Chain A
Amino acid sequence: MIPAAFEYHRPSDIAGALSVLTEYGDDARVIAGGHSLIPMMKLRMADVPHLIDLQDIADLKGMTIEGGIITIGAMTTQHTLITDEALFAACPIIREASLQIADPQVRYMGTIGGNVANGDPGNDMPGLMQCVDATFVLVGPDGTRTVKARDFYEGAYMTEREDEEILTQITFAATDAGYAYEKQKRKIGDYATAACAALITKAAGKVTSASIAMTNLSDVPVWSQAAGAALVGTPCDEAAIKAAVAAALEDIDPTEDNRGPVAFKMHVAGIIISRAIARAWSRA
């Protein structure tokens, strides 16, 4: 498979990348790990006359954890998210979810920035970032702005990011909440039939806060406020979990595809959400 010809750019800073983006407009795209974009270019489903490789931009790399705030550079790979002990201590759900993405080779290359910015409803990071209430930093010709992960997704491959902007960083708070990332997939490397991220805090045997987000069950990731609200104040017993699952299922809109019909996906989603809540509670 041979992609269409393109011109390759490898800027060493964000300003250099922005100037190529501004000059070529729709004809230019940035490439991070490339494991979504290159397959599409090989199939000639993505036409990219100007490819901007971000690998040399130091400002997009690295991770800091200061004052309870985690800041991750967009080019940080899933492999690093898995192996970084400080990140695991500050927010363990990130490792648990990252281990369930694709396969080892893909995780060495796949980046958190590419995963969240691409807008693929099958990607795991967008739902996860909504669960942890992350903020995305976008840099464009007019400067820097931030968008909450919960406000970022508009439709499949459609996001709040403007064409000439680059997603540079992701920030979210460290948490000691009970956590779980549950994912049902047909085989390793597949996207989720249904996946759910859950964070639950507990005091005196009752849920004090709960954040529930789902992957690949709509054309955007879905953070279900109602599912979280159904758990707060309860002892997270069977009745409470049932109510939360019912609320979450109200918020999703899966479509039929090669992973199954809608009824099957609703069934799988219910089980996955219920398992995620139960396991997060057991760790709270």
Chain B
Amino acid sequence: MTKQIITMTVNGEVKEVIAEPRELLIYVLREKMGMKGPHVGCETSHCGACTVDIDGKSVKSCTMFAVQAEGANITTIEGLGNPDALHVLQQNFKEHHGLQCGYCTPGMITRAHRLLIENPNPTEEEVRFGIAGNLCRCTGYQNIVKSILSAAAEMNAARPSSSDAIGQKTTEAAE
């Protein structure tokens, strides 16, 4: 099938890329745009390692065709921070040992970023429910949750408090 030109904004820059409609967004980001932050984990919509932020939503980019993102505004982990200027979440993952092998971390942090925008002051339970779409095989989640809660506290200390977001309250928690 014919390739087409896809235009999207990635980490604040307008990008044009040529791809077939069947190409998944994760591969276009990694292989055609050089964004190697989002990882290919399970490739079956389960693990969340490929999570990116698209128009204010956390999305598993293995489960979206790049053509569907035509016109979209995308943020990857590269857009949140870099080794010289870590994002608050990255800094807290580092300090609280929120990663071991690191493979799930870009997805975890990108997801946590959106979670904290929607719910700046989450409970532990809300964090666990909010990252239920991201799997980690190393940490047991304890330190990931600690890192996110600590980042939330740090971000809240740096700005006036805002009200709790709705829709995050439930009795369930991540495995």
Contacts and interface: CB of A to CB of B under 8 A. Distances in A.
A4 B63 contact: no
B67 interface: yes
Interface string A102-118: 11111011000000000
A105 B60 contact: yes
Contacts of B1: 5-7
Contacts of B51: 105
* Interface-central residue, B22, B46, B67, by most chain A CB under 10 Å: B22
B44 to A, nearest CB: 6
Contact of A188 (B58, B115, B167, B174): B174
A85 B166 contact: yes
In this complex, the interface size class of chain A, counting residues with CB under 8 Å from chain B, is 35 or more
A108 B67 contact: no
A7 B21 contact: yes
A4 B70 CA distance: 20
Given A82-B167, A188-B132, A38 B64 contact: yes
A136 B95 CA distance: 52
Given A6-B21, A95-B167, A105-B58, A188 B65 contact: no
Interface string B135-175: 00000000000000000000000000000011100101011
Contacts of B133: 102-106, 188-189
A40 B112 CA distance: 28
Contacts of B174: 188
Contacts of A31: 68
B106 interface: no
Interface string B89-124: 000000000000000000000010001000000000
A104 B65 contact: no
19 contacts: A4-B22, A5-B22, A7-B1, A7-B21, A8-B4, A10-B67, A34-B65, A35-B63, A38-B63, A38-B64, A41-B22, A42-B24, A82-B167, A99-B167, A102-B133, A104-B130, A104-B131, A105-B58, A109-B59
Interface of B: 1, 4, 20-22, 24, 43-46, 48, 51, 57-60, 63-65, 67-68, 70, 111, 115, 129-133, 165-167, 170, 172, 174-175
Given A6-B1, A106-B45, 20 more contacts: A5-B20, A8-B67, A39-B45, A42-B24, A51-B65, A82-B167, A99-B170, A103-B132, A104-B115, A104-B131, A104-B132, A104-B133, A105-B51, A108-B58, A109-B57, A187-B175, A188-B172, A188-B174, A188-B175, A189-B132
